Amino acid sequence: MKSDATGPRQFGTIEEILGSAQVREQHRALLLRLLWRARQTSRADLARKTGLSRSTISAIVADLLESGLVEETHAGVSSGGRKPIVLTFADDAHVLVGVDMGATHIGVVVTNLRAQVKGWTARPFPVRTKPLGALELIQELIDEALAQAKAPKTRVLGIGVGVPSPVHPDHPGRLLPLILPKWADVDLLDALQKMYGLPVFVDNDANLGALAEAWWGEGRHANNLAFIKVAYGVGSGLIIDGRIHRGQDGTAGEIGHTSLDPNGPLCVCGLRGCINTLIGTQRLLELVVERAPQFPNSSLAARKRPALEHLVAAARERDPLALEIMAHVGRVLGTAIANLLNLLAPEVVVLGGGLTEAGDALFGPIQDTVRATSLARPGPQTPIQVSTLGIQGIALGAATLALEAALDDPSLFASRQRLGA
Ligand SMILES: [Zn+2]
């Protein structure tokens, strides 16, 4: 047969070769996600669930076995014939680093690939005003947490970082100068990548709180979830269809800058009467001082320099001044939550941050307001839960960001294998 340009070709075009490599990567990602989710499965199961051929599955599983991400055992109950081979996802094949960089603290967690905490360390630090010191401390805490976890750097898959700023998808290492002016010349992502030579992922802290809840916390079974962090200010993270909703320029979820009173106090963002100006820590402590004279029997009123933890403790003890302030917080937060329920209809709302420790003193007023101001459905039926992940929540979300990226793009695992070799 005469061979010419239109005849049968032994090799594919560049597009075909790239295309088949891409398809293989997609298949690899699909199998890896299934294996991660199932923890234990078999080649036959994978074939049934994906519709891929046995030979495709065998080839990819062989790669995964080679990389150490999957282990093979011959256990299991056989139905007469050969004992089935069980494939198990190796949760401890790598570790993840999650950094919670708050305005006034840094926390670092080291986890395995199933969010089991292997190391944790945290320290207060004036992050806002000292970027270089903050970077040094992050490095120190990562080293400490890795030592606790007995994990060498070569086993780290990636580093996730939560920051108290919106994160623009085009330049995630640049924090918003409006919130963190001293960080204007620092690229956080770049700096950490240079320090460690590892993939680094940066996202807003409330987004990561939401991600942690959706993967490991109160929203484990929810596809749509709202997380509200009530700390120094109020922020929210939204999970829509299982993914963080970042919105235009990464600014979604800025619930703290919802203006409830156009004649209210001026906010740092330039608007008036934002939620942050009404129930941010600073305002709550001003309120304690302003209202103190009307509460002669309040132990909180007697404090010379009240702090947030005093307010929370007093609320738990049903101190009348603290209860009045919590009623105010509950009305404002309840209004925000009711609007959120009407707009997004999440399956669950999870609250995190120090103020939630006030317990029923805060939840009663929140529930009352939600009942009074949200649509009848799904409003009051939507569970409003307190985070159970505690102070590690944001850091866990940061580690999960790196895990999510690796399950989406298994070449991250592969690149670590080479570096770690
Ligand atoms: Zn504002």
User: Which residues form the domain of 235?
Assistant: 220-388
Distance 357 CA to ligand 1 centre (A): 25
Co-location of 172 and 140 in the same domain: yes
Residue 335 maps to a domain? yes
Residue 281 maps to a domain? yes
Residue 141 maps to a domain? yes
The Cα 172–Cα 161 span in angstroms is: 10
Q: Which of 19-28, 185-194, 199-208 has the lowest mean pLDDT?
A: 19-28
Distance 337 CA to ligand 1 centre (A): 17
The Cα 80–Cα 58 span in angstroms is: 23
Q: Of all helices (H) and strands (E), which one includes residue 60?
A: helix 54-67
Beta pairing partners, 234: 230
User: What is the SS3 assignment for 244?
Assistant: strand
Distance 277 CA to ligand 1 centre (A): 7
Distance 259 CA to ligand 1 centre (A): 7
Distance 164 CA to ligand 1 centre (A): 14
3-state helix, strand, coil in the chain (%, to 5): 50, 15, 35
pLDDT tens-digit readout, 347-390:
999 999 989 999 999 999 999 999 999 888 888 899 999 999 98
Co-location of 402 and 382 in the same domain: no
Residue 1 maps to a domain? no
pLDDT tens-digit readout, 397-421:
999 999 999 998 888 876 664 433 3
Predicted model pTM: 0.90
List the CATH number of the domain containing 127: 3.30.420.40
Tell me how far CA of residue 18 lies from CA of 8, 32, 62, 132, in angstroms. Answer: 19, 21, 21, 43
The neighbourhood of ligand 1, an ion, using CB within 5 A, equals 257, 267, 269, 271, 274
Distance 270 CA to ligand 1 centre (A): 6
Co-location of 194 and 254 in the same domain: no
User: What is the SS3 assignment for 337?
Assistant: helix
The residue from 89, 104, 119 where one domain ends is: 89
The count of structural domains within the chain is 3
Strands 348-352 and 384-386, bridge-based pairing? parallel
Asked if residues 334 and 349 have their Cβ atoms less than 8 Å apart, the reply is no
Distance 231 CA to ligand 1 centre (A): 15
Largest CA distance in the chain: 104
Co-location of 84 and 226 in the same domain: no
